[in-house]
Amino acid sequence: MNAIQGTGATSQEGRFQLLVDAVTDYAIYMLDPQGIVSSWNAGAQRFKGYTQAEILGEHFSRFYTDEDRANDLPRRVLETAAREGKFEAEGWRLRKDGTRFWAHVVIDPIRDSRGTLLGFAKITRDLTERKRDQEALRESEERFRLLVQGVTDYAIYMLDPTGRVTNWNAGAQRIKGYSQDEIVGKHFSEFYTPEDKATELPRRALETAAREGKFEAEGWRLRKDGTRFWASVVIDPIRNEMGELIGFAKITRDITERREAQEALQQAQTALFQSQKMEAVGQLTGGIAHDFNNLLTVIVNSLDLLGRNVQDARGTKLIESALRAADRGAKLTQQLLAFSRRQPLQPALHNPKTLLEGFEAVLRRACGEMIRLQVSMPSRVRSINVDAAQFEAALLNLVVNARDAMPEGGKLTVAVNNTLVSERDGNHSGLKPGPYVSVSVQDTGHGMTPEILSHVFEPFFTTKDVGKGTGLGLSQVYGFVAQTGGHVDVESAPGEGTTITMLLPAEEGEDDPQEEGPLAARPARETAGTVLIVEDEPAVLEVATDLFDSLGYDVLTATDALEALEVLGRGTHIDVLFSDIVMPNGMNGVELSQKARALRPGMKILLASGYPMSALPSEGLGEGVSFISKPYRWAELSDKLRALRSQA
């Protein structure tokens, strides 16, 4: 029985030896306690190069590199295996021919039943190809990392599945302003505007990317300093081998300049189209007006000849009616010729302030009782080379149109300013860079839609009821300004009123300093300050304006206390309030002064009245308030203002 058992054990060991010898992918061999090789399999011979006869009895340290032997690594690995029951590591090993291979090594101690160390079992696997693949992958990842970090025109970074930033490249720092330390770990919604956050756009963007495989859009984003930029954004989901979402890749590009260039191109194309359309309509209109003038010439002269031979009253009345109609037709053709820029102008050097002051009474009558007209001008304006009659006609047309846009009443402001057109603004409007005078008419009417705005200067286009207006008023304005070398600008929106501005070339070389920047204006000389004159009588208001202007003040005007409070509420700096005491609309000058003092504690107040000073209520006004009796003169007004300025 023992013999049989022994034979079985020997047979089992033999089978195990055959198994070990058959393994070629692993080097499996044994060492004695000192590290001498005591067995050797085919796998060891295949990738280490030694035959069994060459290696048995040799120390296993010959498989180690010179660096590892210098560090006494072979001895230390055996000590570790004996002490801890196992040693496992990867490292470079040597073949017989001296070449190196990357090995995965496991060393196990072999002990007898009493725990005595008999030797070591050593299993080695050649992982050189895997090592090369890992290094190639690592090098590729490093090159990719360097590539991403080197990109500065794109923000390239990753998010975790919840949207928190996990890495950050140099382009992201340049575009968005955050350093890596400042932003990693924060939610990417930091870059979105409050409007987009309110609509939960960041969350929806990630959901879209995860669901559809990509999210792509353009929109406003925020930099660290709070400024906005127009961004092109792409978000891609990142999934592992099992398809699980592990994050997002986000690429953002700042395309603000491209967007501005596209908008500028679109504006230029729109302006070119409008210019070409107006030019074509102008040519057609001018031709029709010219031919119609010829017809009118025949009609008028024929009527004149007939009138000489008609003796009865009825015939004379009919001819006179026909002549009046012909005259009206002649005026219409003049407006058409003005639009087509074929109206002969008689330009001369004029001060627009003088023109407007002389024409203000006509404008006030044209406004009617329902409209509050306010005229705003600096103390000095550059001269313009215009046809005075055509300038007044254009201004009257603008005022009448503004009045008609406020059938229930409102406020109409005519403002004159020195302006400067820069090269950039000139490119947009077709004007040469340089000094200009702007004359704007602003109403508080119902405003216009973009569709109506695109047609406002076309002849016979009108939004008025049938029988009201000819549709030639703004056409005359367009023709006059264009023929003068200027530009007309319209700003309007439904419910927000309309502002139409005529930009007219100003005379070069006048001593009129301008603020830097496009379309900037300021008074042409140093002034004594700004005065708000409140007077309901037009003639008195005109005289007061002239007096204060001669004293060096910039003048703002209002026709009643309510309008004055509106001006004071705008925030414009005002040094002196000059008000009549007796005024319409329920609030007198003293009450106005009290409200004005609450709004502007440091403002000086000068009240005028034809009543004796003792009869005027002055309680609660305090210092900085003075009175002047009507009729006042220049010297007396100057003394009063000087005394007010001297008060602390």
Which tops the pLDDT comparison, 631 or 626? 626
Distances (CA, A) of 551 to 104, 243, 531, 574, 578: 100, 83, 11, 15, 14
Q: CA 92, CA 291: separation in Å to the nearest integer?
A: 103
Which tops the pLDDT comparison, 629 or 402? 402
| Average pLDDT, integer, range 357-382 | 79
Summarised one tens digit per residue, pLDDT across range 358-368 is: 777 777 777 87
- Say which range, 16-25, 473-482, 502-511, has the weakest mean pLDDT: 16-25
449 — phi, psi (to 5°)?
-80, 160
Tokens of 56: 């048995």
> In the block, which residue shows the tokens 């007044």?
392
- Say which range, 95-109, 615-629, 634-648, has the weakest mean pLDDT: 615-629
- At 79 the pLDDT is 93
Between helix 538-550 and helix 352-367 the angle, nearest 10°, is 160
pLDDT higher than threshold 80 for residue 61:
yes
- At 139 the pLDDT is 67
- Name 100's bridge partners: 94
Greatest distance between any 2 Cα atoms in the chain: 168
Q: Burial, 428: exposed, middle or buried (Cβ in 10 Å; 0-12, 13-18, 19+)?
A: middle
24 — phi, psi (to 5°)?
-115, -15
DSSP character for 614?
A: G
Confidence of residue 516 (pLDDT cuts 50, 70, 90): very low
Q: CA 594, CA 596: separation in Å to the nearest integer?
A: 5
CB under 8 Å to 113, separation ≥6 — which residues? none
Between helix 256-309 and helix 313-339 the angle, nearest 10°, is 160
Tokens of 239: 């999934």
Confidence of residue 92 (pLDDT cuts 50, 70, 90): very high
Amino acid at 228: R
Buried/exposed 335-369: b ≥16 CB within 10 Å, e otherwise: bbbbbbbbbebeeeeebbbebbbebbeebbebbee
Which tops the pLDDT comparison, 120 or 553? 120
> In the block, which residue shows the tokens 């801890």?
84
Confidence of residue 466 (pLDDT cuts 50, 70, 90): very low
Q: State whether residue 285 is helix, strand or coil.
A: helix
**Other beta carbons less than 10 A from residue 75's beta carbon:** 13
Q: CA 478, CA 501: separation in Å to the nearest integer?
A: 11
| Average pLDDT, integer, range 216-221 | 90
Q: CA 415, CA 524: separation in Å to the nearest integer?
A: 15
Tokens of 130: 């895997």
| Average pLDDT, integer, range 209-228 | 90
- Reported in sequence order, the residue ranges of 168-326 that DSSP labels E, i.e. its strands, are 215-222, 228-239, 245-254
> In the block, which residue shows the tokens 């505007």?
193
- At 340 the pLDDT is 44
| Average pLDDT, integer, range 169-184 | 86
pLDDT higher than threshold 80 for residue 259:
no
Which tops the pLDDT comparison, 144 or 62? 62
242 close to 267: Cβ distance less than 8 angstroms: no
- At 407 the pLDDT is 82
Summarised one tens digit per residue, pLDDT across range 532-586 is: 998 888 877 887 887 887 787 888 888 888 888 888 887 778 889 998 887 777 7
- At 18 the pLDDT is 59
> In the block, which residue shows the tokens 């004594």?
528
| Average pLDDT, integer, range 386-394 | 77
Considering the chain, what percentage of its residues have pLDDT values greater than 90?
Answer: 18
- At 56 the pLDDT is 93
- Say which range, 149-163, 362-376, 449-463, 523-537, has the weakest mean pLDDT: 449-463
Between helix 538-550 and helix 634-646 the angle, nearest 10°, is 60
- At 32 the pLDDT is 94
443 close to 414: Cβ distance less than 8 angstroms: no
Q: CA 396, CA 51: separation in Å to the nearest integer?
A: 115
Considering the chain, what percentage of its residues have pLDDT values greater than 70?
Answer: 72
Distances (CA, A) of 479 to 90, 203, 224, 430, 476: 90, 55, 49, 15, 5
pLDDT higher than threshold 60 for residue 589:
yes
- At 457 the pLDDT is 65
- At 17 the pLDDT is 59
Confidence of residue 24 (pLDDT cuts 50, 70, 90): low
| Average pLDDT, integer, range 405-425 | 83
> What does pLDDT average to over the chain?
77
- At 5 the pLDDT is 44
pLDDT higher than threshold 90 for residue 33:
yes
Tokens of 616: 């005027």
- Say which range, 78-92, 120-134, 425-439, 576-590, has the weakest mean pLDDT: 425-439
- At 332 the pLDDT is 58
Summarised one tens digit per residue, pLDDT across range 130-173 is: 878 777 667 655 665 555 555 567 888 889 999 999 888 888 88
Confidence of residue 6 (pLDDT cuts 50, 70, 90): very low
pLDDT higher than threshold 70 for residue 179:
yes
Q: CA 373, CA 360: separation in Å to the nearest integer?
A: 10
Confidence of residue 461 (pLDDT cuts 50, 70, 90): very low
Q: CA 209, CA 220: separation in Å to the nearest integer?
A: 19
Which tops the pLDDT comparison, 554 or 619? 554
Q: CA 615, CA 333: separation in Å to the nearest integer?
A: 60
